[in-house]
């Protein structure tokens, strides 16, 4: 991270975080510029977004849901939505009853800059693709549905539905406006896009986006009385 690039990210990354990301990932100038553009997109989308809906977000119709650990703990909600699979991306395990009732993939990790989230992308992508092929619904969550789970969802969207991280993030923000991977995770997603390009799994020149998924609003009864806990 060169000195001349630092001013570009002062509005999006505090000095302490910037130093950690610099030491851990040693981002290039190109990666930092992409990071800034992604954060600018986030800011633009948030200005346009309406009041946040506390129900789980529908990312891909009749398939992929994005939410919080409280959604994953709510048996009635999961059954109402006919969700059969769960990806838990936070350090807190789900209750035994949930694990016995649903197909749960637990990625035990903290929301910290020194976490290598990239190592999980292929595993979670394979899990999500398997659910998609079986035409069964899946919930991806972390503690609050902001950083860790958003990163996992973006990795899947990039590989199977969009040809750039920018397009995938734009798509996700329309469905869950609070989606915001921490700076290190976002930088790792930038590198994951490059990896997918090098392996020719995505190609922006072909404009190979899957735009068939419309935005659906959930209407779930009896969730307003559910207790929310963000410890």
Positions annotated as catalytic residues are: 142
3-class SS string, the chain: CCCCCHHHHCCCCCHHHHHHHHHHHCCCHHHHHHHHHHHHHHHHHHHHCCCCCCCCEEEECCCEEEEEHHHHHCHHHHHHCCEEEEEECCCCCCCHHHHHHCEEEECCCCCCCCCCHHHHHHHHHHHHHHHHHCCCEEEEEECCCCCHHHHHHHHHHHHHCCCCHHHHHHHHHHHCCCCCCCHHHHHHHHHHHHHHHHCCCCCHHHCCCCCCCCCCCCCCCCCCCCCCCCC
């Amino acid at each position: 991270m060169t000195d001349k690039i630092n001013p570009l990210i002062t509005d999006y990354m505090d000095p302490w975080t910037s130093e950690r990301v610099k030491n851990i990932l040693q981002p290039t100038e190109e990666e930092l510029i992409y990071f800034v553009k992604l954060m600018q997109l986030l800011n633009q989308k948030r200005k346009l977004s309406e009041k946040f809906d506390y129900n789980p977000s529908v990312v891909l119709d009749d398939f992929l849901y994005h939410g919080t650990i409280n959604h994953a703990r709510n048996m009635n909600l999961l059954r109402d939505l006919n969700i059969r699979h769960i990806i838990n991306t936070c350090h807190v395990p789900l209750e035994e009853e949930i694990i016995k009732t649903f197909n749960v993939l637990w990625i035990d990790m903290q929301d910290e800059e020194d976490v290598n989230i990239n190592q999980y992308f292929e595993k979670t992508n394979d899990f999500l693709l398997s659910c998609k092929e079986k035409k069964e619904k899946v919930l991806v969550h972390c503690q609050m549905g902001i950083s860790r789970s958003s990163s996992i969802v973006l990795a899947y969207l990039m590989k199977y539905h969009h040809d750039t991280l920018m397009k995938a993030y734009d798509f996700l923000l329309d469905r869950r406006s609070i989606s915001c991977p921490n700076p290190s995770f976002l930088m790792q997603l930038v590198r994951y896009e490059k990896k997918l390009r090098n392996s020719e799994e995505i190609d922006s020149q072909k404009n190979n986006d899957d735009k068939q998924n419309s935005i659906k609003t959930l209407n779930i009864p009896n969730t307003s009385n559910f207790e929310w806990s963000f410890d």
